[in-house]
Structure 1
């Protein structure tokens, strides 16, 4: 039922009645969102999402709407949604936007960041995912003690955690001392012996469960107190040990956070003519403001900024290009795909890849790259993704229908399941 055509096929004109024809859905190679498998069939997270929504929008004649679904919709809206659709494959974001602006395609489901500039040209659906610009770096087996200490401080600074630990510790210390002082030997308690250093030290060691509360207790009450104190002390020790263990384990192989301003000192690869390239250019422009006129570094910096400018009509396709300027720290590589950029990182040609968090996280889990790179937790800029929709007469209600179906899907079970299959369990926060 569905067909796939490639860029260059004639499309519709913006004045054409959209309800009178089938829909054209554009995609490009952009794993894990959209891509063609070895058989040439569309695959990916947003392909699956679109096809579930298409069924809900009655774009499949084998899945007609129910009377309940039709209630409240005009005849024009109903007729517009009773259509089929076909895919068109485009090579770049630039081609996608041109096709949307010319109404050559109706919907673009490949990743497209919602920006004010793009919204002036065409419409967007509701965001279906919030990603962002992040940094991928080579994995390291070293323990970063600074990060471990920071994790401990951050955990212990939480009011509830600190209050619970101090409360348990104080209570257990008091009880251990009382048991030690007054229940160990009834005759000694009755004699009113003075509190000694040994009593305090013994209470402390028993508090953290290094010793039993009463190794030589004989009374039933003392034995019960001994059991109680052992349980509470063990729980307290396990909590403290768990915080320390988690902090040090999480610091193994992780990298220090990298401020955006430090990117200009690194050898960074990114996707050609992407929002990541634009963000990197902004960092070099900011660096230029710190260099005075007449400084010998300024011409080299100006040349790098000019090189980073994406020419109008340029596409992402093409071989990777490295730009290094004499006297300037760092370097920039522009790649034609995230896979190419990450491959250059794995081979040691660059220090990091600045790019889409979802794409980099997905690639870090693939067999060839698994265990070889980490995606740092810092997100430099949040980027909501939505589906581009050609700006036609909106009487057909297509955008509103897509929005309604998207919201239902995000609230359902498949959206989270599909994303976590790609990015790993717990990677997406509850919606």
Structure 2
């Protein structure tokens, strides 16, 4: 009886091991469906139908290490998210931003790239008069004017100290004399040459001589400082950051992290089907701003040759973590993560990023 029981247990164990091994072998031999969407520079669809780009290079290195057989299948963004949620794709290698909403729907690998949202604006939106007035009353401009007045007053007081007793008609005592000294130093510096005030004493003329040559040197510096504070900066636009988006006609790409940011912050906006369409609308002055992921937007602007019409402003906000995504509870995540971390910490990953002119 004991021998029969042990024999049955052994048979059950061997059968279970065989079934488990068969399932693992089947899983390893299964051809994975890798969901992609043309998203340069991370996923680039070539004319011959092949895919290249940052995400493709990273994934193919991981698949090679894990000996995974796969094929790519392309979707639009909404189709890709739907296929991922339904399990029609095994891995999505598009640079999806990890958000709280998406975490509830999908599994994500460790992030492989960290970036931020940015704003693109039309260069013709540059408000020169507004920028001029803003700069005219800026702290930099006021400092330059104040420093200039201090220098003028210093030399005016010096010449007044020498002239106040010997040239009372032109400089005189008290505040009137100091004002006349300031007037003289300003006229001398600007080389207007009215001649209504001129030093008569030796000390006054020495001060005047020093001031004449000094003014030639410093006037150029002050002129440059004042000019720079009044010059309209080429990046001085009506939109300087995300706070200004409520005041302009803003556009986002459907189902993107940019659209989610605008919705979360109650910023009115329109929606475009893809980034190319959005940027073309911006270049044609149909909208005032486009919100999207910075590296993808900059790369697309260069590729569409829109640099003369569209610019990404320096303001950066809303950090984005790019990860591969998988259907919920996928066993592939635990296998992919260690290899992914090894890859992005290796030299080849830096070479890939440099190839596409991206910082790590």
If the length of structure 2 is used for normalisation, what is the TM-score? Answer: 0.62
Task: Spell out the pairing of 1:282-361 with structure 2 (5 A cutoff).
Answer: 332=270, 334-335=272-273, 337-346=274-283, 350-352=286-288, 354-358=290-294, 359-361=296-298
- State which of 222, 226, 230 in structure 2 corresponds to 1:244: 230
Structure 1 stretches lacking a partner, 5+ long: 1-14, 61-80, 288-330, 421-427
Structure 1 CA distance for aligned equivalents of residues 343 and 154 of structure 2: 60
If the length of structure 1 is used for normalisation, what is the TM-score? Answer: 0.54
The match for 1:130 is: 115
Q: Describe the shift of the 1:231–1:132 C-alpha distance in structure 2 as closer, same or farther (beyond 3 A).
A: same
Structure 1 CA distance for aligned equivalents of residues 303 and 355 of structure 2: 18
- State which of 197, 202, 223 in structure 1 corresponds to 2:179: 197
Q: Describe the shift of the 1:279–1:187 C-alpha distance in structure 2 as closer, same or farther (beyond 3 A).
A: closer
Contact 1:26–1:105 (8 Å) recurs in 2: yes
The match for 2:139 is: 156
The match for 1:36 is: 45
Q: Describe the shift of the 1:236–1:138 C-alpha distance in structure 2 as closer, same or farther (beyond 3 A).
A: closer
Q: Describe the shift of the 1:405–1:231 C-alpha distance in structure 2 as closer, same or farther (beyond 3 A).
A: farther
Contact 2:98–2:108 (8 Å) recurs in 1: no
Structure 2 CA distance for aligned equivalents of residues 186 and 412 of structure 1: 76
1:318-344, Cα deviation, whole Å (9 max, x unpaired): xxxxxxxxxxxxx95642x22133345
Contact 2:107–2:325 (8 Å) recurs in 1: yes
Structure 2 CA distance for aligned equivalents of residues 282 and 203 of structure 1: 59
- State which of 148, 168, 172 in structure 1 corresponds to 2:151: 172
Displacement after TM superposition at 1:198 (Å): 3.1
Task: Spell out the pairing of 1:12-23 with structure 2 (5 A cutoff).
Answer: 16=24
The match for 2:5 is: none
Contact 1:132–1:383 (8 Å) recurs in 2: yes
| SS class of match (2:231) | helix
Q: Describe the shift of the 1:395–1:183 C-alpha distance in structure 2 as closer, same or farther (beyond 3 A).
A: same
**Alignment of 1:91 onto 2:55:** no
- The number of aligned residues is 319
Structure 2 stretches lacking a partner, 5+ long: 1-22
Structure 2 CA distance for aligned equivalents of residues 168 and 18 of structure 1: 80
Displacement after TM superposition at 1:403 (Å): 3.7
Q: Describe the shift of the 1:139–1:241 C-alpha distance in structure 2 as closer, same or farther (beyond 3 A).
A: closer
Q: Describe the shift of the 1:143–1:173 C-alpha distance in structure 2 as closer, same or farther (beyond 3 A).
A: same
Structure 1 CA distance for aligned equivalents of residues 27 and 208 of structure 2: 84
Give the stretch that moved more between structures: 97-106 or 197-206: 97-106
The match for 1:210 is: 190
Structure 2 CA distance for aligned equivalents of residues 25 and 183 of structure 1: 88
- State which of 347, 369, 372 in structure 1 corresponds to 2:309: 372
Give the stretch that moved more between structures: 404-413 or 238-247: 404-413
Aligned alpha-carbon RMSD (Å): 5.2
